[in-house]
Amino acid sequence: MEKEAWKEILEIYHSYGVNCMRFHSWCPPEAAFAAADELGVMMQPELSHWNCENAFEQEGSFAFYRHELKAILRQYASHPSFVMLTFGNELHAGPSGHASMDRLLREARQMDDSRLYANASNCHYGERGADPESDFYTSMAYYQDILRAASPGMEGHLNREYPDAQHNYQEAAEKITSQGKPVFGFEVGQYESLPDFGQIEDFTGVTLPLNLERIRENAEKSGMLSSWKQYCEASGELALLCYREEVEAVLRTPAMSGLSLLGLQDFTGQGTALVGMLDAHLKPKPFAFAEPSRFRAFFTPVLPLLFLPRYTYSEGDILKAQVKLANYGKYPVKAALTWSLFQAGERIMQGEGENGVYPEGGLRDVGTVEFSLPCGNKAERFDLEIRVGEHANRYPVWVYPENGGGQETEKGVVIMENLDEEMIEQIEKGKRIFLEPVPDKAHLPRSIGGQFSTDFWSVENFPQQEGGMGLVIEEGHPALAGFPTESHSNWQWWIPAHGRPVVLPHRIHPIITVPDCHSRLKHMGLLAEFRLGKGAVLFSSMGLHFQLQYPETRALLSSLLDYAAGEFTPDQEITRRELEEITGGVR
C-alpha cells in the first residue's frame, strides 16, 4: 500500500474522532507513518509478539525481537507520528522473560529516548500492576480494578452497576500515576452488533465470507430474515450507547490519559467479532448508528460532561448534577455554561451560569445544574443539553408519575408468578392474567441470563456469555403506552433487560424481542401476549413486580397492567403444553 491508500484509511478513522492508532502486535510500513505525519495522527507500533505464557524465554526469542526493535527504531523513529511502542500484546513471562524485557527497554531508550516504551500492552492482563521499567501503563485492569466498562463474562460497571453518568476509574488510576506512569485504557469497547448481509457482495477476492453466509442461512431457517434489519439497527444503537459510556467514563477520570479502542472495524476471526462501526472492508455500516458524526459527538478532545446520579426520576424530583469540561484540545475554552431541557424537540426550560476560563489539558469544574423536574400525569422522556461555548452534550432523562406499580386490586388484573391447574382452567374459560414468574432458571427453564449490553467480542471466543444482543421493542404497542421508549435499548431498560429472555415458539411475535448472538439465533423475548383457549396471558420474564423500588419498573408494570385490564385480546395462540414448557410446568 502506498501513502495515499494509508491516508484514506487514517482519514476514515479520523472521521470517527480517532487521533492515535495502535498496531496490535505488528509495525506498519513507511507509507503509514508518512501518511500519519501529514494528517497529525499518532502511531503506536508493537513488536510482533503475542505470547501469553513465557514471552522472551524461548531460545533465540530475545535475539530476534532485539533485532526487530532496532530495525523499527532505525527505520521509523524519525517520524513525528511515532510516539510510543510496546513489545507485544498481552505478554506473560517469568523472571527471565521480564529481565529480557527490561534490557530491551533500556536499549530502546539508548537508541531513541524521545519515544515512550512499555514492555507490553495489557501485560499479565493487569494482574501484576505497573511495570517499574515501562514509561506508561495500558491495560484492561490494575490488579482487581477494572479500567473499562465491560470485559469477558460481562464484568464491568456497565452490566453490573445501576446506570448513572458518574462512574470513573480515578481511585485505581491514581495508584498508577503515583508511580510516575501515565495510564490509558486497553482494547476498550468490543460491543457487537448483528451483521448486514449486504456486505457479502464486497468479498470479491480470495477470501470467502463463509461465516456471514452461514449466519444468513441460519437466520433464514429461524424465520428471522424479515426482522433482520431491525435486529441490526437495534443492536448497533445499543453498541453505540455502550461505546459512549466507555469514553465518557474515561473522560470523567482526570488521572487517565485516554483510552485505546479495540477497533472500529469488524474482525472476521475468533468466531466473527462484529464490533465495529465499520465492516471488515472499512466501510461504515449502512445504518444510522454507524454515522461518523454520531461517534465523533462523544469521541472528541473537548466535551462537557454532566455527572448525572441516575437517568430515571419520579415527578417532582430535584435533578442536581455537576458539570465538568474535559478539555484536551489545543486551547483554553472561555465561555459560560448554559443548559436546556427539551421535550419532543421543544425547549421547555433553560438556565445559564457565569463565564469561565477552562485551560486545556484536563477535566475542569464548570458548575452545577439544578431544577425541579416537570410534573405531569404521564411518563415523559426529556433531553438535557449542556453547553460550554461551542461544545455541547445531551443526556436523556425519564420522569415517571407516582401512580405506577398498581397491583391487581387497583387495576383489576390478576398477577401470577406460577401457573396451577385451577388458574389454567380459568384462563381457558376466558380469564385474563399477567404472568410474571420469578426471573431465574428454575422458574424459566427455557431462558438465558439477561444483560444490558450486547455481546463482548464474540460468544465463540468468550463462551461464558449468554448471548443477548439488546432489545428490539415494538414501541407503538399499547402495552407500552405509559412507558416512553425507542425501538431499541436505552438506559431506562437497564433493570428490565436483566430479566431472563425466554425462548418462544417461532410463530409468537414478542412485544420485546431479544435478538440472540449470530452463532445461536434462538427466538427469544422478554414480553409477549398469547391467547389460551378463550382467555389471554400477558407474559413477562422481566421480574418487574419484584423490583418496585425503581420508578421505571413501577411505570412499566403500571403500563402493562393498564393494557391487560383494557382491550387485551391477543391474536397469537399458545398451547397449554407450550406455556408449561416456558414456565417450568404447573406448580
- Please give the pLDDT value at position 413: 84
Q: How far apart are alpha carbons 552 and 557 in whole angstroms?
A: 8
- Please give the pLDDT value at position 410: 54
CA distance to 210, 498, 504, per residue, from 286 (Å): 21, 29, 30
* CATH superfamily, region 3-193+250-270: Glycosidases (3.20.20.80)
Q: Which one-letter amino acid corresponds to residue 562?
A: D
Q: List the domain boundaries for the chain.
A: 3-193+250-270, 310-400, 408-583
- Please give the pLDDT value at position 409: 47
Q: How far apart are alpha carbons 504 and 582 in whole angstroms?
A: 7
Per residue in 236-286, pLDDT tens?
A: 999 999 999 999 999 999 999 999 999 999 999 999 999 999 999 999 999
Topology given in CATH for the domain delimited by 310-400 = Immunoglobulin-like (2.60.40)
Q: Name 170's Cβ contacts closer than 8 Å, sequence gap at least 6.
A: 252, 253, 254, 255
- Please give the pLDDT value at position 404: 57
Per residue in 293-337, pLDDT tens?
A: 999 999 999 999 999 999 999 999 999 999 999 999 999 999 999
Q: Which positions of the chain have pLDDT values less than 70? A: 404-411
Contacts of range 501-505, beta carbons closer than 8 Å, 24 or more positions apart: 501/447, 501/448, 501/450, 501/468, 501/525, 501/526, 501/541, 502/444, 502/446, 502/447, 502/526, 502/541, 502/582, 503/446, 503/447, 503/582, 504/528, 504/582, 505/574, 505/578
Return the C-alpha cell found at 171: 481511585
CA distance to 188, 258, 345, per residue, from 22 (Å): 12, 13, 39
